[in-house]
Every structure is written in structure tokens, then in C-alpha cells.
Homo-oligomer: A and B are copies of this chain.
Amino acid sequence: MNIPRTSFPRIVIIGGGFAGVALAKKLSKQEVQVVLLDKNNYHTFQPLLYQVSTGGLEPDSIAYPIRKILKDFPNFYFRLADVEEIDANKNKIKTNIGNLKFDYLVVASGSTTNFFGNTEVEKYSMAMKTIPQSLNLRSLILENFEEALLTSDLNERNALMNFVIVGGGPTGVELAGALAEIKKGILPKDYPDLDTRLAQIHIIQSSDCILKGMSEKASAKAEDFLEKLGVNIWKNVRVTNYDGKTVTTNTDLTFETATVVWAAGVKGATIKGLDAEDFVTRGNRLLVNEFNQVKGYEHIFAIGDIACMASEAFPYGHPMMAQPAIQQGDQLGDNILELLESKPMKPFAYKDKGAMATIGRNKAVVDLEKWKFQGIFAWYVWMFVHLFFLIGFRNRMVVFVNWVYNYIRFDREARLIIRPFKNKLKH
């Protein structure tokens, strides 16, 4: 890779997600060379992907060019690259655009959807972790409605209008709420010749409550909101398979559906060379110590979803969400600077800023440390926080305009099949 060696130590960061970007910002204007590698040339604001899938937002307004985030930083290099292997002992990585030596390596490669080894489910169901995946889901939902118009077979039409979401975490809950609003507000107008009662939205949750990481009150209220929106919640049910037509479960329940969204789990996106049993723990995450150092190395770190820092409070590592990633990136920035001056690093301490999820119009749940609230005010807080954390003034403005419009008009205008997902409709 064409990157000049300078007298500054070279820090290579793999991944431009919340963790990688927070770290890179921290290291800007310091006497280090930073090389950030990502498969995409943009940072994705994952918490709003479900709105892209449901036509509420453009993909472009929840993505941000990585080069632009870091454009004013000297000694900063970005490369669009897929990291194929890490040679930890030779301080080298192998990528699709060549090899690169590092002085310090930070793995911030994030997570991917966890299908728990079920290849059939993986083949037929939709994930929603990236922008292209979210756009595929958007296309599929709309293509299903178009197809439902064409069939006179009631079972087939049912399957096309049935949406099964596996997993009742924030992603599943937010997607279900948005689909329920489409069913109520848009389907009857766009498809007057379809019986919209056929459109059923199911959440399948393996445990006994949704939004498991949140408070009991938030969980109960979210369930209440969803049920009022007509979403069917199936608790204590575990999906065993999906063959493209039928979802089977560990109970008698089965679902005939053309659309399964798999939001039942994520796993660390490990990279060859650091993926041996030695390094990897539950959820396919890299074991790190309290300084985010990968087990056995002083100059290799992991932060964000990929890192598992086990502690008393978090025996299986921090939740795989934006906040721990940002905080770890931030702190590692400080720690690397300390390390370079041979000063002691500070152990990471997670500040839990709370959690929130939106269910729909005027309906959200928010858990803060000392205050848990639900309903319209929670919804405003949810919107404010998401706008605040979105990178870029333009993105904030565009998202704001869309939200105001969608709110006033009960609408979602980005219901466009720009790249058809089903083969037969490709052109």
C-alpha cells in the first residue's frame, strides 16, 4: 500500500464505525500517523438503518464520507480496503489492495449478523446491518406488495404480506413499529386493491420479554405500544428454520412468509490471524484486557463490538452498541498517547448513558440511569439524541426535514425500488 513512512509511529485502524472514528478523531493532530481502513468509503449510522428499510429516510443521509470526517487532520490516511489477514507477530496486515506494516494495530471491525450456524436461515432471511442490506430489505418489502397484487392464490398473497421479524431487541422492535405504520398509513392508499388486513407483522422472541437489555417498564410499555399498532409478539418461541417459505419454531407455531428479517443476534467480525480459539470468546469477540489490548499483545488493540472486555458488571463484555464503541475509541486514543510517552494507561470504565427505542409516532421508551419514561416525550428525546449523534450538519437537516414531513403527512416517501432485490425483477 502506497503510504509513506514518516518518523511518527503508524497506527492502523481497521474499521470506520463508531469506535474507529472516535479513535481516529482523538489521534488527530497528534504526532502519529493514522491509517484507517474500511470496506466502505463511508461511516454508517446504524441505529437508523431500519428507517432506510422502511422508506422513511434516504441511505445517503445516514452515511457520511470517512474522508470528510478526517479531512483536516494531518498525517491521516484512509484506504478503501478489505483486510484479509493480520500477521500479529510480523506487525503486518494483508489486504485486497496490498500489505501494510503497522506499529500499533486497532481492530475495530465491528460485528455481523449471527445466524448461529443455520445456513438455510442465512440464505433466505434478510439482515439489516449495512446500508446495502437495508436497501435490499426496502426493495423486497415493496416488491412483495407489488407481487401480492398479481396473485389470486390467497395463501401466496398472505405469505407476501406477512412479515416475520426474528428478535425483539431494539432493531426488531423499531422495524416492527415502522412496518405497522406502513400498514396503517400507506398500504391502504398505495394499494387500494389489496386487503391490508392480510399484512401481518410478527416478532418472534426467544425469551420472555422484548427489549431484554432495558428496564421491565420499558419492555412492558414497548410491548403495549406494539400490540396497539397491531404487531403480533410471540414470546418464548425460538425459530428453528426458514426454507424461504415457512418459518418453523420449537413450538407448534409456523409462519408462511416471503420475508424474514433476522435481528436475533450479532457476532464479532473477526479477521484471520486473530481468530484462533486463544483470542476469541463468546459471540465471536476478541478477548481484551481493561486497556483494550488483545490477549498476548501490547501493540494490538480491539475496540467496539469486536472487543470483549469481561468484567464483573459485564461478564460477557459490553453491549454491542454505539456507546461502548465510542467510549472505548475515545479512551484508547488517550491510552495510545500515554503508551507512546511510556506513561501508564487508564483502565476502561463504561459510563452507561442509558438506552432507548422508538416504536412509532409519539411512541418511544427511554431508560436513563435515574429516570425511565415512555411515550411522546420519550419519542422527542429519542429523535433529539439521534439527530445529535448523526454526523454532519447536512445529514441532520435532511433527516429533520424527512421526520417533520413524515410526521405531518403520516408518510414515508422513499418507498422506491431503486435496485430490485428479487432476481426476476432485476433489469
Contacts and interface: CB of A to CB of B under 8 A. Distances in A.
Nearest to A77: B193
A229 interface: no
A39 B427 CA distance: 8
Given A58-B60, A60-B58, A190-B65, A2 B413 contact: no
Given A146-B80, A191-B67, A398-B398, A42 B405 contact: no
A415 interface: yes
Interface in A141-177: 142-143, 146, 149-152
B42 A417 contact: yes
A150 B97 contact: yes
Contacts of A405: 393-394, 397
Contact of A427 (B67, B82, B409, B413): B82
A418 B61 contact: no
A58 to B, nearest CB: 4
A276 interface: no
A71 interface: yes
Given A79-B149, A146-B79, A398 B402 contact: yes
B39 A413 contact: no
Contacts of A150: 1-2, 79, 97-98
A249 interface: no
A41 B61 CA distance: 22
Given A2-B150, A82-B427, A146-B79, A41 B401 contact: no
Nearest to A61: B58
Contact of A41 (B77, B397, B416): B416
A395 B150 CA distance: 30
B64 A132 contact: no
Interface in A396-427: 397-398, 401-402, 405, 409, 411, 413-419, 424-425, 427
Contacts of A398: 58, 398, 401-402
A393 B401 CA distance: 10
Q: Which of A97, A398, A425 has the most CB of B within 10 A?
A: A398
A328 to B, nearest CB: 25
A283 interface: no
A74 B152 CA distance: 22
Nearest to A188: B71
Contacts of A79: 146, 149-150
A63 interface: yes
Nearest to A193: B77
Interface string A379-401: 00000000000001111011001
A64 B40 CA distance: 27
Given A68-B413, A71-B189, A392-B413, 7 more contacts: A59-B416, A60-B413, A65-B416, A80-B143, A98-B150, A393-B405, A394-B405
